[in-house]
Amino acid sequence: MSICYVNGKYLLKKDSNVSIEDRGLNFSDSVYEVIAFRKQNLLNYVKHINRLKRSLNELKINSPFSNFKSLEIIIKNLIKFNALNNGFIYLQITRGTSIRNHLFPKFSKPNVIVILYNSKDTDHFKKGVKVITIDDMRWQRCDIKTTSLLANVLGKQTAEEKGAYESIQINKQNYITEGTTSNIFFVHSDNLIQTHPSNNNILGGVTRDIVIELAKRKKFKVLEKPLNIRSLKTIKEAFLTSTTVGVVPVIKIDNLKISECKPGLVSKQLMILFKSNSKKQIKNNL
């Protein structure tokens, strides 16, 4: 969308900029969040803000907001100024601008960027997607939502080049961690749902947490334990979760067909539950 927010100003995207000495640009020394809004309602806002506060804290970046209420006002203003009903907020906070030096500057004022994006049509994902497996080449703090995403970028590009939607990453011990832009869940033949635990090896997805809550409410058993790649052959269903696409069934992993290349029943059920959970939030805010 055309109006964005940069360091206290609402500007046309084409007129907005940050310094070439911004530490986000020089070192990926920055954090971000992506938040969905529907009918101008922010979805799962508190969970996103809590993760943002944690990311800032883990990287010792000064919070630019003494009170995160002001951020909510900025976001709501942007939604109004852009006259957009549905879309995504991209929010980035860098450590600030300073002469290039690995050491943190003594005094630095974070740079804050907020941009809105239109939602894309994700209806076709209902039919399920293909994914490929790749080595997990990332660092050991994947729990922090930093803009240091080069391994994720390369992984996503490899998926695209191989005709797949996503790459799922396998660590050195042969365990599946997560996608490059999503978390992954597996459903076993007894309907046990398994996903990687929320630790330093994955980004603890907001969608992941909500899907776990919804599944437990429906009396599914959820096991938060890494799945070994050897066990893939035995799984009944798989699905991905993320803010931008919600719950997406996986129907093929490399050459392995999952649930006969059709979205599995549990995946479909959780996809519907997740959508109605979002709708409920909208209703409650109206």
243 touches ligand PMP (CB under 6 A) = yes
**β-sheet bridge partners, residue 12:** 3
CB environment 27-61: b (16+ within 10 A), e (fewer): eebbbbbbbbbbebbbbbbebbbebbeebbeebeb
What does the per-residue mask of binding to ligand PMP show for 152-181, with x meaning CB under 6 A? x-------------------------x--x
112 touches ligand PMP (CB under 6 A) = no
| Residue 30, φ and ψ in degrees, nearest 5 | -165, 160
183 touches ligand PMP (CB under 6 A) = yes
Q: At what angle do helices 45-58 and 206-217 cross, to 10 degrees?
A: 130
146 touches ligand PMP (CB under 6 A) = no
Structure tokens at 144: 């922090």
Identified binder of ligand PMP from the candidate list 64, 205, 249, 263, rule CB under 6 A: 205
Q: Which is nearer to ligand PMP, 97 or 169 (CB)?
A: 169
| 3-state helix, strand and coil shares in percent for the chain, rounded to the nearest 5 | 35, 30, 40
Q: Which is nearer to ligand PMP, 22 or 178 (CB)?
A: 178
226 touches ligand PMP (CB under 6 A) = no
Q: Do 4 and 114 meet the contact criterion of CB atoms below 8 Å apart?
A: yes
Q: Which is nearer to ligand PMP, 97 or 243 (CB)?
A: 243
Segment lying near ligand PMP (by CB under 6 A), choices 67-75, 96-104, 199-207, 268-276: 199-207
Q: Which is nearer to ligand PMP, 98 or 274 (CB)?
A: 274
Q: Do 275 and 246 meet the contact criterion of CB atoms below 8 Å apart?
A: yes
206 touches ligand PMP (CB under 6 A) = yes
Task: Determine whether 145 is an active site residue.
Answer: yes
What does the per-residue mask of binding to ligand PMP show for 4-43, with x meaning CB under 6 A? ------------------------------x---------
Burial of 3 (0-12, 13-18, 19+ CB in 10 A): buried
Catalytic residue among 130, 145, 156, 252: 145
Residue number of the CB closest to ligand PMP reads: 205
By CB under 6 A, what part of segment 33-92 binds ligand PMP? 34
Identified binder of ligand PMP from the candidate list 98, 194, 195, 241, rule CB under 6 A: 241
Q: What string of DSSP letters covers 151-219? A: HHHHHHHHHHHTT-SEEEEE-TTSEEEEESSSEEEEE-TT--EEE--SSTTS---HHHHHHHHHHHHTT
Residues engaged in binding ligand PMP (CB under 6 A): 34, 152, 178, 181-183, 203, 205-208, 241-243
